[in-house]
Amino acid sequence: MIALGALALAIWAALIASGFWTTRECDARARCTAPALWPKVCAVVPARDEADVITASLSSLLAQDYPGEFRIILVDDDSRDGTGALARGLGDARLTVLGGAPLPPGWTGKLWALDQGIAAAGTPDFLWLTDADIAHAPDTLRRLVGIAHAGNARLVSFMALLSCTRPAEKLLVPAFIYFFKLVYPFGFINRPGRFAGAAGGCVLVERAALDHAGGIGAMRGALIDDCTLGARIKTQGPIWLGLTRRSRSLRPYQGAGEIGAMIARSAYAQLRFQPLLLAGTILGLALVFGVPLWLILFGQGLAQALGGGAFSLMLLSWQPVLAWYRRSPLLALALPLVAAFYAGCTLASALAWYRGRGGMWKGRAQAAT
């Protein structure tokens, strides 16, 4: 017991020292300067059955107070709910609506739609890749471009504020950001080195850098497309990723089942479809999040003290994200249960892949075989 407690405490001490858990990497604190000449930007929006949110999403893009040339291309990916018609009904000359071509083998739906939109965009200086269920504040594009200009970044990405008002959301959505930051530490991503990532709901990428990295076609089958894009663009120059309140998701989660499906869609892909990595992940989650509580409840003496120290660091690590989502700090006490839920979603992701149903999104199973 003492050895387990010492190992858990050492891991948590290292994690706390890494700084992954803080919220200092956010757009409000990023260095941002206005360019002398604002670059040309084209937003590309892939959309499949988004009728309930598409008007609000596109309206937020059309309301951008960006000083430079800006236009929008929406790619209607075989929607059956009138998404394309609603978009055309906005009647703005800056907005082009394309009907997507049939999905070819080897592509995920989102990346195929993005590729078509980028091909139609011509040669803007930057592409703004944004999801159809994200709404942006009027100064979002200014901020994206200003951060890119200040740091000479080839890619700038904002982690959109997710819906967090329903009971399941209050517990599980902050944890999604927490675990994302654990796997992709923002501070490491924003510094030179091998760490890279992005948040797919809001990505500004330099067109030339994307072309030099092989374009969307070079990552056509990626399930974790945003982080794959971040890794490819970081070979071309600096990238930046941070939290934001300027971009927010319009999509509420009806319950734990919907959140679990969102996690399971790509969790096994993150493990490169490797059973050994899956087993190591489950054991690692049990050690880091389960052992400290187990030692507090059933350990004695030094083992219990080590478990208590690890548990205290665990509670500390969730506080910044809970505060970012304006949730009670007491929710941190549920982190071992939340970690168990995420472990279950990872197992479900692997099971779905072996059943040929991996990467399920809008009725499509997209995981590579």
Tens of pLDDT, residue by residue over 109-165, are 999 999 999 999 999 999 999 999 999 999 999 999 999 999 999 999 999 999 999
Choosing from 222, 256, 290, the residue where a domain stops is 256
**Does residue 369 have a pLDDT over 50?**
no
Q: Answer yes or no: do 252 and 265 share one domain.
A: no
Query: Radius of gyration over alpha carbons of the chain, in Å?
Result: 21
Is 105 part of any domain?
Answer: yes
Distance CA 341, CA 216 (A): 33
Q: Is the pLDDT of residue 365 over 70?
A: no
- Encode pLDDT of 330-339 as tens digits: 999 999 999 9
Tell which residue, 193, 194, 237, has the closest CA to residue 213: 237
pLDDT at 367 (0 to 100): 54
29 pLDDT above the threshold of 70: yes
Q: What is the DSSP letter of 361?
A: B
Kindly give, in sequence order, each residue whose CB lies less than 8 Å from that of residue 156, ignoring residues fewer than 6 positions away.
144, 147, 148, 203, 204, 239, 240, 241
239-271 residue pLDDT tens:
999 999 999 999 999 899 999 999 999 899 899
Q: Are 250 and 268 found together in one domain?
A: no
Residues 243 and 330 in one domain: no
Please tell me the distance from the alpha carbon of residue 97 to that of residue 73, in angstroms, as a whole number.
6
- The chain-wide mean pLDDT, for the chain, equals 95
Pairwise CA distance, residues 359 & 224, whole Å? 10
Domain final residue, candidates 230, 256, 282: 256
Give 8-51 as a DSSP string.
Answer: HHHHHHHHHHHTTT----BGGGS-----SSPPPEEEEEEESS-T
How many beta carbons lie within 10 A of that of residue 272, not counting itself? 8
Burial of residue 17 (CB within 10 Å: 0-12, 13-18, 19+) is exposed
Do 210 and 325 fall into the same domain?
no
Residue where a domain stops, chosen among 203, 229, 256: 256
Average pLDDT for residues 18-40, to the nearest whole number? 97
- Do residues 104 and 220 both lie within one domain? yes
Q: CA of 68: how far to CAs of 62, 180, 195, 334, in Å?
A: 13, 33, 32, 47
Domain contains 366 = no
pTM of the model: 0.95
Query: How high is the pLDDT of residue 363?
Result: 67
Domain encompassing residue 317: 2-20+258-354
Number of domains in the chain: 2
Q: Residue 113 and residue 132: Cα distance in Å, rounded?
A: 12
What is the mean predicted confidence (pLDDT) over 272-281? 94
Backbone angles phi, psi at 139, to 5 degrees: -100, 15
